[in-house]
Amino acid sequence: MPEFPPPSDFLGPHADVRGCVDLHMHSRCSDGAREPEYLVEWAAALGLRAISLTDHDTTRGVKAAMAAGKRLGVEVVPGCEISVKLSGGTFHLLAYFYDPDDAGFDARLREIADKREGRNRKILAALGELGMPLTYEELLAEAGEAVVGRPHIAALMERKGYVKSRQEAFDKYIANDGPAYFEKDTFGPAEALAFVRKHHAVPVLAHPYWLNRGSLEATEAYLAEMKDLGLAGIEVIYPDHDEHWTRGLLAIAERLGLLVTGGSDYHGGRTKPHTTLGHGEGGGFRVPAELLDKLRAAARS
């Protein structure tokens, strides 16, 4: 096995995640820095019981991850993080336990991904007008085999010297309120939830804090609307959720009868550079395996 990044010294007791799970991570198939097999090997070295590879709008790495999981004794749950239209931007819907051999599920995601090209070209054109010319060929080379998206545009902007960091690229130009931002042509909420349900997967709303509703009360109202449309769960245990939000979201999940999940949202490289697989950014949490058991039960019902 390769060498893996050691848990940071400040993780303390949270460095031990044996028997735990991590249900949110990304590989090179979308905007992560590592191959799917590497993530499984790392999970095995950490003693994680299970993981879910949830690349953005693609299932491409899942079969390779599942094969590695069988070899190494780590359960790999088929997962995907789907972009969904939200006023002024998007939110992310995690789909769990779909059939990796379901050609219809994968084909619809590829159709959505294909529409990204038009959006990406609009972003490049806007950046060119702002004095930062980039070609689509350069962008494809930057992304490699991954689904091309804003993280690759930010990386290319940094490499070309237009910004000092990828974060600066987002903050100044391509974030949702930036001068070079264009909305994705993707699912609406009702369509996304119906799509996931149609393919017998479990829909879970990722990192509810980033809905940007401003308060737990407003977030609960929106989640109640989503539940009426078929939402099954929410990602509560997440690096960006502080104690106030974690406790509040747990209470919301109980009141609304929603499943609770959690994950590190590991990307690696310069995206979330302080996140550790199984621990999240800076440690501070572990995801207990019983949450996966409840998720699996929902998938079977």
CB neighbour burial string for 91-115, b if at least 16 within 10 angstroms, e if fewer: bbbbbbbbeeeeeebbebbeebbee
Residues 22-68 pLDDT 10s = 999 999 998 888 999 999 999 999 999 999 999 999 999 999 999 99
Q: How many Cα atoms are found within 13 Å in the side-chain-facing hemisphere of 196?
A: 31
pTM (2 decimals)?
A: 0.84
Q: Give the pLDDT of residue 250.
A: 97
Euclidean distance between CA atoms 59 and 72, whole angstroms: 21
CATH topology of domain 116-174: DNA polymerase; domain 1 (1.10.150)
Q: Give the pLDDT of residue 138.
A: 94
Q: Give the pLDDT of residue 10.
A: 47
What percentage of the chain exceeds 90 in pLDDT?
Answer: 69
Q: Where are the domains of the chain?
A: 17-110+184-300, 116-174
3-class DSSP state of 236: strand
Mean local confidence (pLDDT), 166-191: 90
Residues 5-26 pLDDT 10s = 766 554 555 578 999 999 999 9
Q: Give the pLDDT of residue 282.
A: 63
Q: Give the pLDDT of residue 6.
A: 63
Instruction: Report whether 29 contacts 36 (CB < 8 A).
Output: yes
Pick the CATH number of 17-110+184-300 from 3.20.20.140, 3.40.1160.10, 3.40.50.11810, 3.40.50.1000: 3.20.20.140
Helix-helix angle 62-72:36-46, to 10 degrees: 30
Q: Give the pLDDT of residue 14.
A: 59
Mean local confidence (pLDDT), 212-236: 95
